[in-house]
Amino acid sequence: MKILDGIIQRSPTELIDLAEWSNQWQLDLVSEDLLTEKGLFLMVEGNQFSLQQGGKKAPGPVMVDFVSGASAHRRKYGGGSGQSIAKAVGISGAYKPSVLDATAGLGRDGFVLATLGCEITLIERHPVVYLLLKSGLACAQGDLEVADIMARMKLLEGNSIELLANWFELGYEQPDIVYLDPMFPHTTASAEAKKEMKLFRSLVGADVDEDELWAQANEIARCRIVVKRPAKAPPLAGRTPTFVLGGKANRFDIYVKSKVVKA
C-alpha cells in the first residue's frame, strides 16, 4: 500500500535526495493538475514540504512552521512556564529537564518545551511526517528569532519502541522526561485541528502499540513519563498516573518514577 498518491515538486530541494526517497517508497512525481482529483500529495517547494489533499473543496496544506502562525503566537503569548505542559514536565525556576518526545507528530509540543529552555529530542516513525518535521526545522534554523530554539531540538527517524529498546546501546543520553502523545481516535472542536487530524488519520491511522510504547518509555525515563490524552480518554495502556493535570480538551497524565534509573 502506497503511503501517498504522489509527489508534486514545484522547485528543487536540498533537504533530501527526492529521487532516491520517491524510489524507496515507490512514489511517482506527478503533475500539479492532479490536485483537482481526490488524493494525498507531498508538495515540495525548495526546502518547504507540505501535505496537500486533492479535490475541489480540499482544505489548505498542512506543514510544520515554527516561525509564524500558531507557533509564533504561542511562543510570544502562550503563558511561558505557567502552561500546563510546562507544569507537566516539571519546569520550575532554573530547572529545564531534557525531554524525549517519542511521538513527535508536527512537533508543536516539542517546540513549546524548547521555547521554555528544554533540550528536546523528537522521534517520528512515519516517513512523510518525518519529512514535514525535517522541513520545518530546516526552514526555521535560519530565522534569528527562533534559531536558539531550533538549536535545542534534535530529530530522529524511526520506530520509538525499537529505538527506546536500544537507546543506551545506540549511544543516546538518558532523558529526564519521556513525553508521549500517541494518535487517538478522537474528534476535537477546532476546525484547524479537524483538518490536520483528518489528514493524519488518513496518513498514519491510530497508534495501536501503546502497551509496548509505555513500557519502553518507563525503562529509560529518569524522572517521569508525561502522556497527553484527550480529556475523556482512558489512561494510556491502562496505567493509572501518579497525578493528572486536566484541561477542557486534553489532559496530562504524569507518571513519576519511584527511583532514578541509571544509564
Note the pLDDT tens digit of each residue in 209-247.
888 999 999 999 999 999 999 999 999 989 999 999 988
Domain with 95, as residue range(s), is: 69-256
Indicate the average pLDDT of the chain.
89
Note whether 120 and 208 are same-domain residues. yes
Residue 63 placed within a domain: no
Query: pLDDT class for 261, splitting at 50, 70, 90?
Result: very low
Structure confidence at residue 93 (pLDDT): 84
User: Which range has highest mean pLDDT (66-70, 157-161, 194-198)?
Assistant: 157-161
Structure confidence at residue 219 (pLDDT): 95
Alpha carbon distances (Å) from 22 to 43, 61, 158 = 13, 20, 18
Q: Which segments within the chain are labelled E, that is strand?
A: 6-11, 39-45, 48-54, 99-101, 120-124, 153-157, 177-180, 224-230, 243-245, 250-256
Query: pLDDT class for 262, splitting at 50, 70, 90?
Result: very low
CA angle 92, 98, 102 (to 5 degrees): 125
In the chain, the percentage of residues whose pLDDT exceeds 70 is 87
Spatial contact of 227 and 252, defined as CB atoms under 8 Å apart: yes
| Count of structural domains, the chain | 2
pLDDT at 205 > cutoff 70: no
Q: What is the pTM of this model?
A: 0.90
pLDDT at 65 > cutoff 50: yes
Residue 242 placed within a domain: yes
Note whether 166 and 83 are same-domain residues. yes
Residue 1 placed within a domain: no
Which of these, 136, 153, 161, lies nearest to 215 by C-alpha position? 161
Would you call 125 helix, strand, or coil by DSSP? Answer: coil
CA distance 34 to 20: 22
In the chain, the percentage of residues whose pLDDT exceeds 90 is 71
Note whether 22 and 110 are same-domain residues. no
